[in-house]
Structures are given as structure tokens and as C-alpha cells.
Amino acid sequence: MSRKPLPEKTFIIELIENVLSDEEWVTLVDALKAICNKVCWKPGKDIAHLKKRRRMKHLSGTLADYEQVIYDIVRNVGNIVYLYDFMGTHYYAVRGFAANNEWLVIFGWGGLMETAFPPQNIDEYLERRGFIFLGRVKEILQWTKKVKI
């Protein structure tokens, strides 16, 4: 699978500082920390998403297996974080490899799960929907330390 090269470090820093306000960054960091701690689903959505992943042959295991894929993605500090703005509501996505596929984990405020799946063409999926590159998980967390949240 080919990946687009990441922007240069100086560009990342400029982009990070201009995309979200300090308050929005706090919300992002809180959501990222929350999902790293515990996968939380909307009521009934855990089983619905698991059934869909099985039906699409993305997974064959249990809910615990599905959530392990999610943890593997969001806890890897080298993985890439994106912002998705849907009509003024921010969602966050972490992109990375797990279970022999490149997955996208999408979550919202407080780390509440939206979905996790391996898009057929992840670059096209992200570009078509207007996801905004923010940086790697580690960079996001380091930025927050710099502003002493």
C-alpha cells in the first residue's frame, strides 16, 4: 500500500497552530486520551458495528478483538491524526495498521466511538471527505505539553 509522504516538520507545526483554537486542541487531546483508555460506544452501536465489520469480512472475531484493533491504532504514537469537520461538529480520526490492514478509527467528543474500518483506498477516502492532517499522535500530545494544558 502506498502512502502519501508526510509534510515537512515545519509545515506540520504551522498547520497544527492554525487549524484549531487552544480550546479545540484541549477537546481533541481529551478525546484522544479517553479513547486510548477505554473504547466507548453509543448504546447498541458496538454490536451493530461489529456485525457490519464481520459482514464486510474486515473482522471475524469478537467485540474484544474489534476493540483491540481500535486500541492498537489509537495507542500507537507514530500513527497519524486527522480532523473531520461535519457541519461544525469535529470528529477525529487516527490512521494506522492493525490486523493486516490499514484502518481508520473515527471518534468524537470525549472519545466516543463513531466507527473503525479499513477503507479500500484510505488516501482517496480521506481526501474525498476533506479530512485535515494534524500530525502524529506523539506530536499532538507533545504540542499540548508545550502549552501546559
Instruction: Say if CB 69 and CB 59 are below 8 A apart.
Output: yes
Residue 3 inside a domain? The answer is no
Structural domains of the chain, count: 1
Domain holding 122, by residue range, is: 9-146
Residue 44 inside a domain? The answer is yes
Residue 26 inside a domain? The answer is yes
Name the amino acid, one letter, at 143.
W
End-to-end CA distance of the chain: 37
Residue 59 inside a domain? The answer is yes
Q: How far is CA 26 from the centre of its chain?
A: 16
How far, in Å, CA of 5 to CA of 51, rounded?
34
When pLDDT is cut at 50, 70 and 90, the band that residue 140 belongs to is confident
Residue 1 inside a domain? The answer is no
Average pLDDT over residues 61-85: 96
Residue 121 inside a domain? The answer is yes
Listed range (95-99, 105-109, 136-140, 142-146) with the worst mean pLDDT: 142-146
